[in-house]
A and B are shown apart, each in its own frame.
Chain A
Amino acid sequence: MIEFESVTRSFGGTRAVDEVTLAVERGTICALVGTSGSGKSTLLRLVNRLLDPDGGRIRLDGVDIAGIAPVELRRRMGYVIQSVGLFPHWTVERNVATVPLLLGWPAARIAARVAELLDLVGLAPDVHARRYPDELSGGQQQRVGVARALAADPELLLMDEPFGAVDPPTRRSLQDSLAAIQKRTGTTIIIVTHDVEEAIRLGGTLAVLEHGRLVQTGTPAAVLAHPANEQVARFFGGPLLGLHLLQALNVGNRANFTDPSQVGGEPIDADASLETALARMIAEGTSRLPVVNPANGRRGVLELAELVGL
């Protein structure tokens, strides 16, 4: 668990991070969002002490990180940046093994871990391990970047706009991979992004920053339903905010499982987003969809009127 307590950091008189107090629970994903210059990257870099705060405290599982040597602290955290920063003169294998090598793991354990991680991020070890970074696509490079950050099984993964430089389909596939990995490993993730959809897809919690101040925290659905102010509403799409809300909500939130009347057709998962449901209604020219809850097999109906919250 990470706790920020009145954390402040200034650069030449301007407060990039201003009295931020925030707690990120163990095993959750927290998305730091905001426009450029809102201080979200600065806040992230305070966590692994690439920067130190001018005021306030950051605690990792109750321990003030100011008392932990930066090098030791960083080796307990994974760090992924937009430009990836793979070592161009090392193979994929060696890149992923960077931190385990620094920690002095035995060779056999490192080899096994590298293969496991490449598998985890969706790269075939026998195909990609011996390649050099410039022989990979941008998306593959970022997969290696994620594998490298996870190598020593960090308690915390810090990601600074990790998928900002790849094309949209690749970005979505990387986001799905990351969500799946997080579910499997239970790693706590703090991700900086200015991509609203990415924040909604990944963020269990959103922390919205504005001029260095934390203006709102909450689940994507809560933040989108009740934006704290005009700027937050504008950031999440302004007039299109409602569409983003459909991404943040599940079919299960709006479906009626007590209505005995049955609707024909392929049922939609209760876990699917309302956006997906709306897309299907449009495609099929209907205002009602059959719903199934994959967890307990219960069936229900989603009405267009319910979907839009009437």
Chain B
Amino acid sequence: MAAARPGGRVDALPLLLAAIALAAVAFGGFIVVAPNRLLSGAPLTLWQAQGAGAPAAVLTLLALIATLAGLRDFRFRWALIGLAAGALVIAAMALAGLAAAAHAEDAGRLTRVSLGAGFWTLLAAGLLILADAVGRERSLPGKVVPVLATGLGMALLMAGGTLSQLSLAREYAVRHQAYLHELLRHLELTGAGLALALLIGGAIGLMAYRRPRRAGSVFAVLDIVQTIPSLALFALLIGPLTALTALLPGLRQLGISGIGPFPAILALGLYGLLPVARGVHAGLSSVPNAVVEAARGMGLTEAQIVRHTLVPLALPTLFQTLRITLVQLIGLAVLAALIGAGGLGTFIFQGLGQTAVDLVLLGALSAIVLALLADIGLRGLAFLLFRRPAR
């Protein structure tokens, strides 16, 4: 594969994904119409839901992607594939919204239109083609423009009300006040847990670097923490913390208790310890010994060695550690709702309790999007920060 001539070979991944998307549109239920939010409904294919025009639009985009993937390489080819994939994603969302509006009008107020397997497959295929294309595109604008255009299109669809009749959007609409509150809470929990992990994990990583002989046992302990199932860790903290506050009632005034935000932040911090400590240790260890020895031999102080050699040379790894830990904690913070700390998990567990799938999705999708945004944002930042200066 590495030896393939540029443009001399058909790129299989977009073709495969386009074929999957094609099958999903042809046979999969695009939307599901149910009499109310709790009953399961009947799936309708895109054809059944929207008539012939909609599938034709999707097929055109799929054909465009397949054609571009089959062509010899040219400048901005992958950017074009990315743009077409973005258009596919936006088209899928818009068609789902339009179909929901049409069917909700036909039936009563309680009717709920959810998204079917066909829609999700089409959406996933579109996003994967986009991600693949952005990864392969060489120019910076070719990478950025398709992502921005797709994000902008999604934002416009949401803001313009096209999606408002979908069950997911209606779940949001009835509780958008609570949604904002829980979203903020989710960010607070993640941020506090991350800060805790960076502080303590960073110190542990630095210690392990300074005393290599102790590194092994330190990481063994952290590895054990990491093997505790996340759900169990949240629950396990309830007991000791409750006992602690019973012993020292003054702690309760400080907001420390067995349930609520405090144990959630503690659990998130504990989970972040290992990746942070490992990342800091790996980053510092990746700095060549010779550089540190030469720096010391030239008369740099310990602080100057850290500032001029260790930190700048470890920075790309440290930044990557920050990104990985943040993404991991955003996902884990969903569990905080279980011990009464709130966050986006609230909707997931409410939805599970009510068997309201769309409410579960509201919480889960929000957490996924949040994690994705954090990932893309920090990757972009790292790209801008750590590119070698032009020479």
- Give complex CA distance A148, B291 in Å: 13
Q: Which of A48, A85, A130, A132 has the most CB of B within 10 A?
A: A85
Q: How large is the interface on A (under 10, 10 to 19, 20 to 34, 35 or more residues)?
A: 20 to 34
B291 touches A88 (CB 8 A): yes
CB within 8 Å for A75 and B299 given contacts A84-B294, A85-B290, A87-B291: yes
B295 touches A102 (CB 8 A): no
| A215 CB-CB contact with B under 8 Å | no
Q: Which residues of A contact B295 (CB under 8 A)?
A: 85, 87
- Give complex CA distance A85, B297 in Å: 10
Per-residue interface assignment for chain B, residues 269 to 299, with 1 indicating a CB less than 8 Å from any chain A CB and 0 otherwise: 0000000000000000000111111111111
A48 touches B297 (CB 8 A): yes
| A263 CB-CB contact with B under 8 Å | no
User: Min CB distance, B292 to chain A, in Å?
Assistant: 8
Contact pick for A130, options B293, B298, B308, B391, CB 8 Å: B391
Of chain A, the residue at the smallest CB distance from B312 is A89
Within 8 A of A (CB), among B303-341: 304, 308-309, 312-313
Q: Which residues of A contact B48 (CB under 8 A)?
A: none
A73 touches B291 (CB 8 A): no
Q: Which residues of B contact A110 (CB under 8 A)?
A: none
B293 touches A85 (CB 8 A): yes
Q: Which residues of A contact B301 (CB under 8 A)?
A: 71
| A167 CB-CB contact with B under 8 Å | no
Contact pick for B299, options A88, A102, A130, A145, CB 8 Å: A102
B300 touches A102 (CB 8 A): yes
B299 touches A81 (CB 8 A): no
- Give complex CA distance A7, B292 in Å: 26
A75 touches B298 (CB 8 A): yes
B290 touches A79 (CB 8 A): no
Of chain A, the residue at the smallest CB distance from B302 is A71
A81 touches B304 (CB 8 A): no
- Give complex CA distance A83, B291 in Å: 9
User: Min CB distance, A305 to chain B, in Å?
Assistant: 50
Q: Which residues of B contact A89 (CB under 8 A)?
A: 312-313
User: Min CB distance, A19 to chain B, in Å?
Assistant: 25
- Give complex CA distance A48, B296 in Å: 10
Q: Which residues of B contact A148 (CB under 8 A)?
A: 298
B290 touches A83 (CB 8 A): yes
A74 touches B309 (CB 8 A): no
User: Min CB distance, A198 to chain B, in Å?
Assistant: 20
A87 touches B308 (CB 8 A): yes
| A256 CB-CB contact with B under 8 Å | no
Q: Which residues of B contact A132 (CB under 8 A)?
A: 391
A88 touches B313 (CB 8 A): yes
User: Min CB distance, B245 to chain A, in Å?
Assistant: 49
User: Min CB distance, A87 to chain B, in Å?
Assistant: 6
A81 touches B291 (CB 8 A): no
User: Min CB distance, B289 to chain A, in Å?
Assistant: 8
B312 touches A81 (CB 8 A): no
CB within 8 Å for A50 and B296 given contacts A85-B288, A88-B313, A89-B312: yes
B290 touches A99 (CB 8 A): no
| A72 CB-CB contact with B under 8 Å | yes
A99 touches B312 (CB 8 A): no
Q: Which residues of A contact B297 (CB under 8 A)?
A: 48, 50, 74, 79, 81, 158
- Give complex CA distance A131, B288 in Å: 19
CB within 8 Å for A79 and B312 given contacts A71-B299, A73-B299, A102-B300: no
Per-residue interface assignment for chain A, residues 47 to 88, with 1 indicating a CB less than 8 Å from any chain B CB and 0 otherwise: 010100000000000000000001111110001010111111
A72 touches B308 (CB 8 A): no
B298 touches A74 (CB 8 A): yes
- Give complex CA distance A158, B391 in Å: 34
Q: Which residues of B contact A98 (CB under 8 A)?
A: 298, 300
Q: Which residues of A contact B290 (CB under 8 A)?
A: 81, 83-85
Per-residue interface assignment for chain A, residues 74 to 117, with 1 indicating a CB less than 8 Å from any chain B CB and 0 otherwise: 11000101011111110000000011001000000000000000
Q: Which residues of B contact A79 (CB under 8 A)?
A: 294, 297-298
Of chain A, the residue at the smallest CB distance from B291 is A85
Contact pick for B294, options A71, A72, A81, A131, CB 8 Å: A81
A99 touches B391 (CB 8 A): no
- Give complex CA distance A70, B3 in Å: 54
- Give complex CA distance A131, B301 in Å: 26
A99 touches B309 (CB 8 A): no
B299 touches A99 (CB 8 A): yes
Of chain B, the residue at the smallest CB distance from A133 is B291
B313 touches A99 (CB 8 A): no
User: Min CB distance, B284 to chain A, in Å?
Assistant: 15
CB within 8 Å for A83 and B299 given contacts A89-B312, A130-B391: no
Q: Which of B295, B299, B309, B313 has the most CB of A within 10 A?
A: B299
B294 touches A85 (CB 8 A): yes
Per-residue interface assignment for chain A, residues 146 to 157, with 1 indicating a CB less than 8 Å from any chain B CB and 0 otherwise: 001100000000
User: Min CB distance, A122 to chain B, in Å?
Assistant: 21
User: Min CB distance, A148 to chain B, in Å?
Assistant: 7
User: Min CB distance, A127 to chain B, in Å?
Assistant: 13
- Give complex CA distance A85, B295 in Å: 8
B293 touches A81 (CB 8 A): yes
Q: Which residues of A contact B298 (CB under 8 A)?
A: 74-75, 79, 98-99, 102, 148-149
- Give complex CA distance A87, B294 in Å: 9
- Give complex CA distance A81, B292 in Å: 11
- Give complex CA distance A300, B290 in Å: 51
B294 touches A86 (CB 8 A): yes
Q: Which residues of A contact B296 (CB under 8 A)?
A: 50, 74
Q: Which of A73, A89, A99 has the most CB of B within 10 A?
A: A89
User: Min CB distance, A213 to chain B, in Å?
Assistant: 25
User: Can you list 10 A-B pairs, Cβ within 8 angstroms, ordered by A?
Assistant: A48-B297, A75-B298, A81-B293, A83-B289, A85-B290, A85-B293, A86-B291, A87-B294, A87-B295, A88-B291
Given contacts A79-B298, A89-B312, A145-B294, 11 further A-B contacts (CB under 8 A): A72-B299, A74-B299, A81-B290, A81-B293, A84-B290, A85-B293, A87-B291, A88-B288, A99-B299, A102-B298, A102-B300
5 A-B pairs with least C-beta separation? A85-B294, A74-B299, A79-B297, A83-B290, A85-B290
